[in-house]
Amino acid sequence: MSAPNKSALLEVAGVSRRFGSVQALQDASLSVEQNSITALIGPNGSGKTTLFNVITGYLRADSGHIRFDGHDVTSAKPAMLYRHGLSRTFQQARVFADLTVAENLVVAGGFSVARLFGGRVDRHDRERVAELLGEFGLSHVADLYASELSYGQRKLLEFAAVLMSRPKLVMLDEPTAGVNPVLIETMERHIRALHDAGITFLIVEHDMNFVMRLCDPVVVLDQGQEIFAGPPDAVQTNPAVVDAYLGA
Protein backbone atom coordinates (compact mmCIF):
# COMPACT_ATOMS: atom_id res chain seq x y z
CA MET A 1 0.00 0.00 0.00
CA SER A 2 2.12 2.85 1.28
CA ALA A 3 5.89 3.04 1.01
CA PRO A 4 7.77 2.12 4.21
CA ASN A 5 7.25 5.04 6.51
CA LYS A 6 9.94 6.14 8.93
CA SER A 7 7.48 7.20 11.60
CA ALA A 8 5.53 3.94 11.54
CA LEU A 9 5.61 2.22 14.92
CA LEU A 10 4.33 -1.04 13.49
CA GLU A 11 4.92 -2.13 9.94
CA VAL A 12 3.40 -5.33 8.56
CA ALA A 13 4.59 -6.16 5.06
CA GLY A 14 3.21 -8.92 2.86
CA VAL A 15 2.28 -11.32 5.66
CA SER A 16 0.57 -14.57 4.70
CA ARG A 17 -0.76 -17.31 6.89
CA ARG A 18 -2.59 -20.46 5.90
CA PHE A 19 -4.56 -22.92 8.04
CA GLY A 20 -4.87 -26.10 6.02
CA SER A 21 -6.79 -25.08 2.93
CA VAL A 22 -7.89 -21.73 4.34
CA GLN A 23 -5.74 -18.77 3.39
CA ALA A 24 -6.41 -16.60 6.45
CA LEU A 25 -3.95 -13.89 5.49
CA GLN A 26 -2.92 -13.25 1.91
CA ASP A 27 -0.03 -10.85 1.51
CA ALA A 28 -1.49 -8.56 4.18
CA SER A 29 0.17 -5.23 4.85
CA LEU A 30 -0.56 -2.69 7.50
CA SER A 31 1.17 0.30 8.95
CA VAL A 32 0.44 1.91 12.30
CA GLU A 33 1.79 5.43 12.68
CA GLN A 34 3.35 6.67 15.87
CA ASN A 35 0.65 7.94 18.27
CA SER A 36 -2.28 7.14 16.00
CA ILE A 37 -5.50 5.34 16.85
CA THR A 38 -5.67 2.95 13.93
CA ALA A 39 -8.80 0.87 13.42
CA LEU A 40 -8.69 -2.52 11.78
CA ILE A 41 -12.10 -3.49 10.47
CA GLY A 42 -13.48 -6.02 8.04
CA PRO A 43 -16.22 -8.60 7.65
CA ASN A 44 -16.21 -11.75 9.78
CA GLY A 45 -13.48 -14.13 8.72
CA SER A 46 -11.46 -11.44 7.00
CA GLY A 47 -8.40 -12.31 9.08
CA LYS A 48 -8.35 -9.55 11.69
CA THR A 49 -7.78 -11.80 14.67
CA THR A 50 -5.28 -13.92 12.75
CA LEU A 51 -3.36 -10.79 11.91
CA PHE A 52 -3.44 -9.80 15.60
CA ASN A 53 -2.10 -13.21 16.56
CA VAL A 54 0.65 -13.06 13.96
CA ILE A 55 1.73 -9.57 15.00
CA THR A 56 1.83 -10.49 18.69
CA GLY A 57 3.79 -13.68 18.10
CA TYR A 58 1.03 -16.14 18.98
CA LEU A 59 1.08 -17.42 15.40
CA ARG A 60 4.00 -17.57 13.00
CA ALA A 61 3.68 -15.93 9.62
CA ASP A 62 4.22 -18.25 6.66
CA SER A 63 5.85 -15.36 4.84
CA GLY A 64 6.27 -11.60 5.10
CA HIS A 65 7.87 -9.27 7.61
CA ILE A 66 6.82 -7.39 10.70
CA ARG A 67 8.72 -4.46 12.18
CA PHE A 68 7.94 -2.94 15.54
CA ASP A 69 9.66 0.13 16.93
CA GLY A 70 12.54 -0.17 14.46
CA HIS A 71 13.20 -3.87 15.01
CA ASP A 72 12.37 -6.90 12.94
CA VAL A 73 9.97 -8.90 15.10
CA THR A 74 8.68 -11.35 12.49
CA SER A 75 9.49 -14.38 14.62
CA ALA A 76 9.51 -12.77 18.05
CA LYS A 77 7.79 -14.49 20.97
CA PRO A 78 4.76 -12.88 22.70
CA ALA A 79 6.60 -12.40 26.01
CA MET A 80 9.46 -10.56 24.34
CA LEU A 81 7.12 -8.29 22.39
CA TYR A 82 5.21 -7.51 25.56
CA ARG A 83 8.35 -6.54 27.42
CA HIS A 84 9.33 -4.29 24.52
CA GLY A 85 6.12 -2.35 24.61
CA LEU A 86 3.57 -4.20 22.53
CA SER A 87 0.47 -5.09 24.58
CA ARG A 88 -2.75 -6.71 23.49
CA THR A 89 -6.13 -7.67 24.86
CA PHE A 90 -8.30 -10.57 23.73
CA GLN A 91 -11.77 -10.68 22.22
CA GLN A 92 -13.14 -12.48 25.26
CA ALA A 93 -11.69 -10.54 28.17
CA ARG A 94 -9.06 -12.91 29.48
CA VAL A 95 -8.33 -12.17 33.12
CA PHE A 96 -7.22 -14.59 35.82
CA ALA A 97 -10.41 -15.48 37.66
CA ASP A 98 -8.81 -16.77 40.83
CA LEU A 99 -6.44 -13.84 41.27
CA THR A 100 -7.61 -10.61 42.83
CA VAL A 101 -8.01 -7.49 40.73
CA ALA A 102 -4.78 -6.02 42.12
CA GLU A 103 -2.93 -9.30 41.51
CA ASN A 104 -4.17 -9.35 37.93
CA LEU A 105 -2.31 -6.08 37.45
CA VAL A 106 0.84 -7.19 39.25
CA VAL A 107 1.13 -10.41 37.29
CA ALA A 108 1.12 -8.37 34.08
CA GLY A 109 3.97 -6.21 35.38
CA GLY A 110 6.64 -8.09 33.45
CA PHE A 111 8.81 -8.50 36.53
CA SER A 112 12.25 -10.07 36.42
CA VAL A 113 13.13 -13.57 37.59
CA ALA A 114 14.85 -12.12 40.65
CA ARG A 115 11.59 -10.54 41.80
CA LEU A 116 9.74 -13.85 41.57
CA PHE A 117 10.64 -14.47 45.19
CA GLY A 118 9.23 -11.20 46.46
CA GLY A 119 5.71 -10.84 47.86
CA ARG A 120 2.70 -11.31 45.59
CA VAL A 121 1.97 -7.59 45.75
CA ASP A 122 5.01 -5.81 47.15
CA ARG A 123 5.99 -2.19 47.59
CA HIS A 124 7.43 -1.97 44.06
CA ASP A 125 3.99 -2.76 42.66
CA ARG A 126 1.73 -0.73 44.93
CA GLU A 127 2.21 2.68 43.39
CA ARG A 128 1.62 1.66 39.78
CA VAL A 129 -1.25 -0.65 40.72
CA ALA A 130 -2.98 2.05 42.75
CA GLU A 131 -2.51 4.54 39.94
CA LEU A 132 -4.06 2.27 37.32
CA LEU A 133 -6.88 1.10 39.57
CA GLY A 134 -7.71 4.71 40.31
CA GLU A 135 -7.62 5.66 36.66
CA PHE A 136 -9.95 2.82 35.70
CA GLY A 137 -12.29 3.23 38.66
CA LEU A 138 -11.46 -0.21 40.02
CA SER A 139 -9.97 0.82 43.37
CA HIS A 140 -13.03 -0.29 45.32
CA VAL A 141 -12.79 -3.82 43.91
CA ALA A 142 -8.99 -4.15 44.20
CA ASP A 143 -9.22 -7.06 46.63
CA LEU A 144 -12.09 -8.94 44.99
CA TYR A 145 -11.37 -11.95 42.84
CA ALA A 146 -11.61 -11.21 39.14
CA SER A 147 -14.29 -13.90 38.96
CA GLU A 148 -16.52 -11.63 41.03
CA LEU A 149 -16.44 -8.79 38.49
CA SER A 150 -19.02 -8.10 35.79
CA TYR A 151 -18.00 -8.79 32.22
CA GLY A 152 -17.55 -5.10 31.53
CA GLN A 153 -15.35 -4.66 34.59
CA ARG A 154 -13.26 -7.60 33.44
CA LYS A 155 -12.73 -5.89 30.10
CA LEU A 156 -11.57 -2.78 31.91
CA LEU A 157 -9.32 -4.89 34.12
CA GLU A 158 -7.72 -6.62 31.15
CA PHE A 159 -7.17 -3.23 29.53
CA ALA A 160 -5.66 -1.77 32.71
CA ALA A 161 -3.44 -4.83 33.19
CA VAL A 162 -1.74 -4.61 29.82
CA LEU A 163 -0.78 -1.02 30.66
CA MET A 164 1.38 -2.26 33.54
CA SER A 165 4.31 -2.70 31.19
CA ARG A 166 4.04 0.95 30.02
CA PRO A 167 3.49 -0.12 26.41
CA LYS A 168 4.13 1.94 23.29
CA LEU A 169 1.46 0.16 21.26
CA VAL A 170 -1.75 -1.30 22.65
CA MET A 171 -3.74 -3.65 20.44
CA LEU A 172 -7.37 -4.01 21.50
CA ASP A 173 -9.44 -6.86 20.08
CA GLU A 174 -13.07 -5.67 20.09
CA PRO A 175 -12.97 -3.52 23.22
CA THR A 176 -16.71 -2.79 23.11
CA ALA A 177 -18.02 -6.29 22.35
CA GLY A 178 -20.54 -7.34 24.95
CA VAL A 179 -20.37 -4.26 27.15
CA ASN A 180 -23.07 -1.71 27.90
CA PRO A 181 -23.22 1.78 26.32
CA VAL A 182 -22.00 3.54 29.45
CA LEU A 183 -18.93 1.34 29.54
CA ILE A 184 -18.34 1.90 25.84
CA GLU A 185 -18.07 5.61 26.62
CA THR A 186 -15.74 4.85 29.50
CA MET A 187 -13.59 2.74 27.23
CA GLU A 188 -13.51 5.55 24.68
CA ARG A 189 -12.48 8.07 27.33
CA HIS A 190 -9.62 5.86 28.49
CA ILE A 191 -8.36 5.33 24.97
CA ARG A 192 -8.41 9.09 24.31
CA ALA A 193 -6.62 9.89 27.56
CA LEU A 194 -3.92 7.29 26.93
CA HIS A 195 -3.59 8.47 23.37
CA ASP A 196 -3.00 11.98 24.66
CA ALA A 197 -0.34 10.53 26.92
CA GLY A 198 1.47 9.24 23.85
CA ILE A 199 0.27 5.65 23.49
CA THR A 200 -0.47 4.28 20.02
CA PHE A 201 -3.52 2.07 19.45
CA LEU A 202 -4.48 -0.57 16.95
CA ILE A 203 -8.11 -1.54 17.46
CA VAL A 204 -10.20 -4.30 15.92
CA GLU A 205 -13.80 -3.22 16.25
CA HIS A 206 -17.24 -3.95 14.82
CA ASP A 207 -19.04 -0.97 16.32
CA MET A 208 -18.76 1.48 13.41
CA ASN A 209 -19.94 4.50 15.42
CA PHE A 210 -17.15 3.87 17.88
CA VAL A 211 -14.63 3.58 15.06
CA MET A 212 -15.86 6.75 13.34
CA ARG A 213 -15.69 8.80 16.53
CA LEU A 214 -12.32 7.59 17.68
CA CYS A 215 -10.09 6.20 14.99
CA ASP A 216 -7.97 7.65 12.25
CA PRO A 217 -6.92 6.04 10.00
CA VAL A 218 -9.19 3.08 9.35
CA VAL A 219 -7.76 -0.02 7.69
CA VAL A 220 -10.16 -2.48 6.06
CA LEU A 221 -9.24 -6.10 5.69
CA ASP A 222 -11.06 -8.50 3.38
CA GLN A 223 -10.14 -12.12 2.67
CA GLY A 224 -6.79 -11.65 4.34
CA GLN A 225 -5.81 -8.53 2.39
CA GLU A 226 -5.81 -4.86 3.08
CA ILE A 227 -8.32 -3.30 0.69
CA PHE A 228 -8.44 0.21 2.07
CA ALA A 229 -6.57 2.50 4.43
CA GLY A 230 -7.57 6.08 5.01
CA PRO A 231 -9.55 8.57 7.06
CA PRO A 232 -12.85 7.36 8.58
CA ASP A 233 -15.14 9.54 6.46
CA ALA A 234 -13.72 8.05 3.25
CA VAL A 235 -14.35 4.47 4.35
CA GLN A 236 -18.11 4.35 3.98
CA THR A 237 -18.08 5.67 0.45
CA ASN A 238 -15.25 3.49 -0.84
CA PRO A 239 -16.68 1.03 -3.37
CA ALA A 240 -14.27 -1.79 -2.49
CA VAL A 241 -15.25 -1.57 1.16
CA VAL A 242 -18.95 -1.52 0.39
CA ASP A 243 -18.45 -4.56 -1.84
CA ALA A 244 -16.63 -6.42 0.88
CA TYR A 245 -19.33 -5.78 3.46
CA LEU A 246 -22.30 -6.35 1.20
CA GLY A 247 -20.65 -9.31 -0.47
CA ALA A 248 -21.33 -8.13 -4.00
Partner 1 sequence: MSTRRAIGPTRAVVFFGVLVALPAFGLAHWVINMLVFTLMFAVMSSAWNLLGGFAGYPSLGHVAFFGIGAYAEVLWFGHHGITSGYEPFLLLPLIGIGVALLGLPIAAIAMRTRADVFAIVTVTLLFVVQTLAFNLRGLTGGAQGASIAAAPFPAGYYEQPFYFVLLALLAVAMGLTWLTMRSKVGLSLAAVRADEDKAVGIGVRVQTVKLLAFCVSVGLTGMVGGIWAYYEGFIYPQFAVDPLITVAIVLMTFLGGRGTLWGPVVGAFILEMAQQYLAYSLGGSQLYLIGYALVFLVIILLMPRGILPSIQDRLRRRRRRRAVDTPFPATAREPALTGQGERT
Residues that bind partner 1 (CB under 8 A): 56, 58, 77-79, 82-83, 87-88, 90, 94, 96-99, 103, 106-111, 113, 115-120, 161-162, 164-165
Type of residue at 25: L
Shorter beta-carbon distance to partner 1: residue 24 or 108 = 108
The angle formed by the CA atoms of residues 213, 153 and 148, to the nearest 5 degrees, is 165
Helix (H, G, I), strand (E, B) or coil at 188: helix
Shorter beta-carbon distance to partner 1: residue 138 or 163 = 163
Query: Least distance (Å) from partner 1 to the CB of residue 165?
Result: 6
Query: Least distance (Å) from partner 1 to the CB of residue 109?
Result: 8
Query: Least distance (Å) from partner 1 to the CB of residue 96?
Result: 5
Shorter beta-carbon distance to partner 1: residue 142 or 212 = 142
Query: Least distance (Å) from partner 1 to the CB of residue 54?
Result: 13
Shorter beta-carbon distance to partner 1: residue 79 or 234 = 79
> What is the H or E stretch that residue 228 is in?
strand 225-230
Query: Least distance (Å) from partner 1 to the CB of residue 105?
Result: 10
Distance CA 202, CA 170 (A): 6
SS3 string, 18-30, reads EECCEEEEEEEEE
Shorter beta-carbon distance to partner 1: residue 129 or 235 = 129
Query: Least distance (Å) from partner 1 to the CB of residue 129?
Result: 13
Distance CA 19, CA 10 (A): 24
Residue 140 phi, psi dihedral angles, 5° rounding: -70, -15
224, 22 Cβ separation under 8 angstroms: no
Shorter beta-carbon distance to partner 1: residue 8 or 95 = 95
Distance CA 194, CA 215 (A): 13
**Dihedral angle over CA of 190, 196, 201, 205, nearest 10:** 50
